[in-house]
Homo-oligomer: A and B are copies of this chain.
Amino acid sequence: MPDRQIHSIAEIAQICGVSKATVSRVINNNPKGVSAETRERVLRAIRELNYRPNALARSIAVSRSNMIGLVVPDVGNLFYPQIIRGVTDYADSKGYAVLVGNSDYNPEREAQQLLSMVDKRVDGIILCSGVSNRDFLLDFRRYNVALGLIGRSFDTSVSNASITGDNVRGGYKSAAYLIRGGHRRIAYVEGNPDVSGSRERLEGYRQAHTAAGLPVYQELLLSGEYSIQYGRLAADQLLNRKIQFDAITTGSDLIAIGMVSQLLQRGVRIPEDVELIGFNNTELASAFHPALSTVSKPHYDMAQYITEQVIRVVEGEQVKLPHTVVEPQLVLRETTLPRPYDNEY
């Protein structure tokens, strides 16, 4: 068996007959203080021994870990791949590694994950669709970690940067589009009601109704979780309880897919009998059959953006914009009927 060693800077130093300081200078290719030949000699030893500097040791010495933490509700949810990819791409490009954790929409678990990342001394944290309350986050700032928020926003004392879609507008647009189609009983089917986005979309839904002088029926407001499963369940519920509805807005494409799938199976035609609008415009929405009408935000870009900001604060630069909100766009496909529409309202 070959030497399965992982060497230390001291060994390299000894082998080359120089001090640790010199090796360190070579590694960080610090141009000062080491001659070309010494440098070469050290580099050769490093190569020959396959020496890899210990990033952890370095981290504690310079008190910077070059790691950032990403906390999402559920990495298994098909909504998050775009986000994770956005974060890892940007982080990677700047030489940061990414630690991931699931919160399961549970404030305690979320807190646990956040603290565990502090323990690992990540330089920054990106919290996605967080469910922690404001006080906790505010208190959390004591740990001096750059904090970026996706999908939720507080004042600047809570986070260094945040980016959200305008969920109120999103909720408004989809409801308004359906209302404009003459629908009067529009079901609103949400995922986890604790997520702020849920409440905001509902607010938009309400606004669209009142703007049109229409009542909001409590029995049409459902919530459960962001999954295909739940979409199925919600469809069944609506049908089984014989609740009348002529259109649906949902809190995610997954819910929408589950509902469409189940409604179709139970003989409800879409969009002829029921129009439906999803949320988020995941990759799936356009591929699904019938293709989902949905509300679109550039999640990948949003993730990249927030990662950029977090890294900026880590590196002592200014955040470009502490709070960004992006206007969601209604994307109309096959689960709605066409009608004049200008994406403005």
B-binding residues in A (CB < 8 A): 2-6, 50, 52-57, 59-60, 65, 67, 74-78, 80-82, 84-85, 88-89, 92, 97-102, 115-121, 141-144, 228, 257-258, 260-261, 264, 283-284, 286-291, 300
A92–B228 Cα distance when bound, in Å, is: 25
The answer to whether A144 touches B6, judged by C-beta atoms less than 8 angstroms apart, is yes
Of all chain B residues, which has the CB nearest A80?
A: B81
Q: Which 3 A-B pairs have the closest CB atoms?
A: A76-B85, A55-B119, A75-B84
Name 23 A/B residue pairs within 8 A (Cβ), A-sorted. A5-B142, A5-B144, A6-B144, A50-B142, A52-B119, A54-B60, A55-B119, A55-B120, A56-B59, A56-B65, A56-B120, A60-B60, A75-B85, A78-B78, A78-B81, A81-B81, A84-B84, A85-B102, A92-B102, A97-B117, A98-B100, A261-B287, A264-B289
Residue of A97, A284, A291 most packed against chain B (CB within 10 A): A97
Of all chain B residues, which has the CB nearest A140?
A: B50
For A57, the chain B residues whose CB sits under 8 A away are: 60
The answer to whether B88 touches A100, judged by C-beta atoms less than 8 angstroms apart, is yes
Known A6-B144, A78-B283; contact A116-B97, beta-carbon cutoff 8 A: yes
Partner of A6, one of B143, B264, B284: B143
The count of identical subunits is: 2
Partner of A101, one of B92, B121, B141, B260: B92
A261–B228 Cα distance when bound, in Å, is: 19
Give me 20 other A-B pairs in contact (C-beta within 8 A), A50-B143, A257-B284, A289-B290 excluded. A52-B115, A52-B118, A55-B120, A55-B121, A56-B60, A67-B99, A67-B120, A76-B82, A78-B81, A85-B102, A88-B101, A88-B102, A92-B102, A97-B116, A100-B100, A257-B287, A264-B289, A284-B284, A288-B289, A289-B289
Question: What's the minimum C-beta distance from A97 to chain B, rounded to whole angstroms?
Answer: 5
The answer to whether A287 touches B228, judged by C-beta atoms less than 8 angstroms apart, is yes
Partner of A52, one of B74, B92, B143: B143
A117–B55 Cα distance when bound, in Å, is: 9
For A283, the chain B residues whose CB sits under 8 A away are: 78, 228
Of all chain B residues, which has the CB nearest A113?
A: B92
A6–B121 Cα distance when bound, in Å, is: 10
Of all chain B residues, which has the CB nearest A75?
A: B84
For A289, the chain B residues whose CB sits under 8 A away are: 260-261, 264, 288-290
The answer to whether B92 touches A84, judged by C-beta atoms less than 8 angstroms apart, is no
For A81, the chain B residues whose CB sits under 8 A away are: 75-78, 80-81
Residue of A80, A100, A258 most packed against chain B (CB within 10 A): A100
Of all chain B residues, which has the CB nearest A54?
A: B121
For A78, the chain B residues whose CB sits under 8 A away are: 78, 81, 283-284
A65–B67 Cα distance when bound, in Å, is: 14
For A117, the chain B residues whose CB sits under 8 A away are: 97
A6–B5 Cα distance when bound, in Å, is: 34
Question: What's the minimum C-beta distance from A123 to chain B, rounded to whole angstroms?
Answer: 12
For A286, the chain B residues whose CB sits under 8 A away are: 228
A142–B2 Cα distance when bound, in Å, is: 7
The answer to whether B142 touches A3, judged by C-beta atoms less than 8 angstroms apart, is yes
For A77, the chain B residues whose CB sits under 8 A away are: 81
